[in-house]
Chains A and B, each alone.
Chain A
Amino acid sequence: MFSTIWSQYKATLTVFLVLLVIVVLEVLQVRAAIYPSLLPAFEWLKNSTPLGYIGTTYGSIYATVQAMHLLAMGTLGGLVLTTDLRLLGVMFRNTPSEVISNGTHKAFKVALIAAVLTGIFCVAGVADKVYYMPVFWVKMLALAVGAAFVFLVKQPLLNSKPHSEINPWIIRGMAITSILVWFTVAASGRWIGFS
């Protein structure tokens, strides 16, 4: 009986299994236990790597890479809004949503890789500062959740069948959540800059 339910609701059960693991890890305070052991890695990143050296020594290079990071994040946000507002039926209504979601997903992958690579450089220069910022960890968590949401939940469902065959409220729910996740990534990023 369990194998029947498992084979029928594999994805849903996996979601609740992951949620259960997260809750158990939080109750056992695993995150709080790991946090102090990350400080040496951040100090190493700033003080003992070429990235940290360049980031703390050459302001022009740091500014250039940070500009590239902002452009990558801006592209990411633009692609997310294009896809999700089309899924909500707000814009590009004359173009099939399958065409837009498939087209933007390819560019999304490139923009995400660019944002992560330039982001590592940006962190390296101020690693010992951002380590103590809760908002930095909010951004990292939102980024991980956003990427996992796109690659493991949203895109597999959108690619599985024509969008007209998917319940429209599920598509709308996914689009609103996606916008909120990436808004959190953007807002937390700017909050790091403000701090």
Chain B
Amino acid sequence: MSDNKKIGDKELAAISVSVIVFGGLMFHWVAELISTLDLLELAYGTVKLFNNPLVF
């Protein structure tokens, strides 16, 4: 890394916030996915991709 690209205060703050916010949002969406799968399992007994109760 060249000297003029050294990580300063604003860069450090930006990457810290980015990592924290990205981690929080990924946690949120993964939790939503898990709860959706749980609901599907509760409703149909099993989880299939493109789960459609009208198609056997």
Q: Is B49 an interface residue (CB 8 A)?
A: no
Q: Is A181 an interface residue (CB 8 A)?
A: yes
Given A167-B5, A184-B25, A153-B19 contact (CB < 8 Å): no
Given A9-B12, A157-B11, A181-B25, A149-B5 contact (CB < 8 Å): no
Q: How far is the CA of A153 from the CA of B17 in the complex (A)?
A: 8
Q: Is B7 an interface residue (CB 8 A)?
A: yes
- Which residues of A sit under 8 angstroms from B44, Cβ to Cβ? none
Contact bitstring A176-195, B, C-beta under 8 A = 1, else 0: 11001100100000000000
Q: How far is the CA of A138 from the CA of B5 in the complex (A)?
A: 36
The bracket for how many chain B residues form the interface is: 20 to 34
Q: Nearest B residue to A171 by beta-carbon distance?
A: B14
Asked if B9 and A154 sit within 8 Å, CB to CB, the answer is no
- Decide if the interface of chain B is mainly helix, strand, loop or mixed: helix
- Residue count of chain A within 8 Å CB distance of chain B: 30
Contact bitstring B1-26, A, C-beta under 8 A = 1, else 0: 10011010111111111111110011
Q: Nearest B residue to A169 by beta-carbon distance?
A: B15
For the complex of A and B, the 3 pairs showing the least CB-CB separation, nearest first, are: A11-B13, A177-B18, A173-B18
Chain A positions within 8 Å of B, measured between CB atoms, are: 8-12, 14-16, 19, 138, 142, 145, 149, 153-154, 156-157, 160, 165-167, 169-170, 173-174, 176-177, 180-181, 184
Chain B positions within 8 Å of A, measured between CB atoms, are: 1, 4-5, 7, 9-22, 25-26, 28-29
Instruction: Provide a sorted-by-A list of 19 A–B residue pairs whose CB atoms are within 8 angstroms.
Output: A10-B9, A11-B12, A12-B12, A12-B13, A14-B13, A15-B13, A19-B20, A145-B21, A157-B11, A160-B10, A169-B15, A170-B7, A170-B11, A173-B15, A173-B18, A173-B19, A180-B21, A180-B25, A181-B21
